[in-house]
Amino acid sequence: MKLISSPTSPFARKARIVLAEKKIDCPVVELSPWDDAEAVARYNPLGKVPVLELDDGSTLFDSRVIAEYLDSISPVSRLYPQERRALVETRRWEALADGVCDALVAAVIERRRPEALQSAASIERQLEKVERGLAAMADALGERVWCNGEAYGIADIACGCCLDYVSLRLPELDWRERHPVLAQHADKLAARPAFAETRPA
């Protein structure tokens, strides 16, 4: 088994954190969807990371699919709750955090185009999604200790990866000032070894 990853991808980082939290020994192969597009496409026809190649050569892609699979193969530190309501809340958190990252990725891609071809309206629309998503995350977290209200798990991992990615790609956004509850949660997560070891540079 091996993980195809990229150092700055929040989705690939989520998979790496899950591997660490589950104490699963798995080699990581760093490939860029931009610079190594053909190589990535051999693992995932959609040309995205992360991709988990299993021992039989088959592949899993999309961080949510990979995270759930990894959670199922090791009893260590269960990251998805078994109770239905808590599981739905966890999946909602994961979808929200991943959605903020999707919007920010779209804005980053648009900003990489030649300036004359960029759509300011498209960038603004994606950044509005980021702003709304962060506000929704702050409201949902409130005074909870953990995102799903019960225990540390994939909701917190997705949240932490999202917040660090916003800081990486959108440093001018003062989300820590606007949402201190998220800043406090991000700091708590950053102290975990799995987060510290995978922090994007």
Residues 156 and 181 in one domain: yes
Q: C-alpha dihedral over 4, 105, 65, 175, to 10 degrees?
A: 110
Q: Which range marks the domain in which residue 14 is found?
A: 2-73
The predicted model gives 120-124 an average pLDDT of: 97
Residue 31, token pair as written in the block: 């490939």
pLDDT at 201 over 80: no
Predicted confidence (pLDDT) at residue 73 exceeds the cutoff of 90: yes
Structural domains in the chain (count): 2
More confident residue, 149 or 201: 149
CA 44/CA 50 separation, integer angstroms:
9
Cis status, amide bond into 50, omega within 30 of 0: yes
Contact 22, 70 (CB under 8 A): yes
Q: Measured in whole angstroms, how far is the alpha carbon of residue 112 from the centre of its chain?
A: 21
CA angle 35, 127, 200 (to 5 degrees): 45
CATH at 43: 3.40.30.10
Res 70 pLDDT > 80: yes
Q: Model-level pTM greater than 0.85?
A: yes
Is pLDDT above 80 for 102?
yes
Asked if 137 and 176 sit in the same domain, the reply is: yes
Instruction: Note whether 132 and 176 are same-domain residues.
Output: yes
Flag whether 199 is in a domain: no
Instruction: Give pLDDT tens digits for 128-152.
Output: 999 999 999 999 999 999 999 989 9
Mean pLDDT calculated for residue range 171-198: 97
In this structure, the answer to whether residues 111 and 149 fall within a common structural domain is yes
Does residue 42 sit in the same domain as residue 119? no
Q: What are the structure tokens assigned to 180, written together?
A: 């201190």
Q: Can you give the CATH number for the domain in which 145 is found? A: 1.20.1050.10
Tell me what pLDDT residue 18 has: 98
| Beta carbons within 10 angstroms of residue 142's beta carbon | 8
Beta-carbon contacts of residue 98 (< 8 Å; ≥ 6 apart):
11, 63, 64, 158, 162
* pLDDT of 38: 97
Which are the contacts of 68, defined by CB distance < 8 A and separation ≥ 6? 80
Query: Where do we find the tokens 């051999």?
Result: 42
Q: Is residue 200 part of a domain?
A: no
The domain boundary residue, chosen from 73, 96, 118: 73
- Both 178 and 108 in one domain: the answer is yes
Of the three residues 10, 40, 73, the one that is the final residue of a domain is: 73
Question: Is the predicted pLDDT of residue 35 greater than 90, yes or no?
Answer: yes
Average pLDDT over residues 6-11: 96
Note whether 19 and 88 are same-domain residues.
no
Provide the β-strand partners of residue 5.
30
Rg (CA), the chain: 17
Sign of the CA dihedral running 189, 195, 197, 201: negative
Q: Look at residue 119 and tell me if it is in a domain.
A: yes
pLDDT band at 200 (very low <50, low <70, confident <90, very high): confident
